[in-house]
């Protein structure tokens, strides 16, 4: 019975501490890597319209178990910095702990129609907090929102030098 109360409390603490600003309170620069060696968090495509569903995959190519929850945040690239948006403030996430063994891949989706406010064109990333051996990391998967679907040009690829 006590575990039913303890696990959500511990997950809440984990998320609160992982979402806090860095020691200097600065936003991370777009060119700073948000991935961890051996861990990739990627969108299926690089460009989406505001009404699509984003498919994401989290791959564990480390020799350690990765743990994380279902919550995520969305950040927008503005004035040379990643800035947290309010898009996910009114979403409800299940409080479960997901573990990813070495070599495994976790698939999930983000429905852009689920946000209360319509997402506007720009460069964004879906941010997730993960834990590897008790060490906390923040990872991000970048994508671009455009007015209409187009595959001929991707500012995210050019901008991030991919």
Q: Enumerate the domain spans of the chain.
A: 2-20+34-159
Burial tier of 76 (Cβ tally within 10 Å: 0-12, 13-18, 19+): middle
Question: What is the C-alpha separation between 3 and 16, in angstroms, rounded?
Answer: 20
pLDDT per residue over 128-141, tens digit each? 999 999 999 999 99
SS3 content of the chain, % helix, strand, coil (to 5): 15, 40, 45
- Output the pLDDT for position 51: 92
pLDDT per residue over 38-79, tens digit each? 999 999 999 999 999 999 999 999 999 999 999 999 999 999
The per-residue b/e assignment along 33-50, b for 16 or more CB within 10 angstroms, e otherwise, is ebebeebebbbeebbbee
Q: Are 62 and 102 in contact (CB under 8 A)?
A: yes
Superfamily of domain 2-20+34-159: Immunoglobulins (2.60.40.10)
Q: What is the pTM of this model?
A: 0.69
């Amino acid at each position: 019975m006590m575990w039913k109360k303890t696990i959500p409390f511990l997950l809440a603490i984990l998320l609160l501490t992982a979402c806090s600003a860095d020691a200097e309170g600065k936003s991370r620069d777009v060119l700073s890597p948000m991935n961890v060696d051996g861990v990739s968090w990627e969108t299926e495509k690089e460009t989406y319209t505001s009404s699509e569903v984003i498919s994401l995959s989290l791959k564990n190519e480390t020799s350690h178990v990765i743990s994380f929850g279902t919550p995520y945040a969305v950040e927008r690239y503005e004035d040379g910095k990643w800035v947290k948006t309010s898009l996910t403030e009114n979403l409800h996430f299940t409080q479960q702990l997901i573990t990813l063994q070495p070599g495994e891949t976790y698939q999930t989706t983000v429905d852009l129609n689920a946000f209360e406010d319509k997402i506007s064109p720009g460069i964004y990333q879906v941010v997730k907090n993960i834990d590897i051996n008790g060490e906390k990391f923040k990872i991000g998967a970048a994508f671009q929102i455009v007015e209409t679907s187009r595959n001929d040009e991707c500012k995210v690829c050019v901008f991030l030098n991919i």
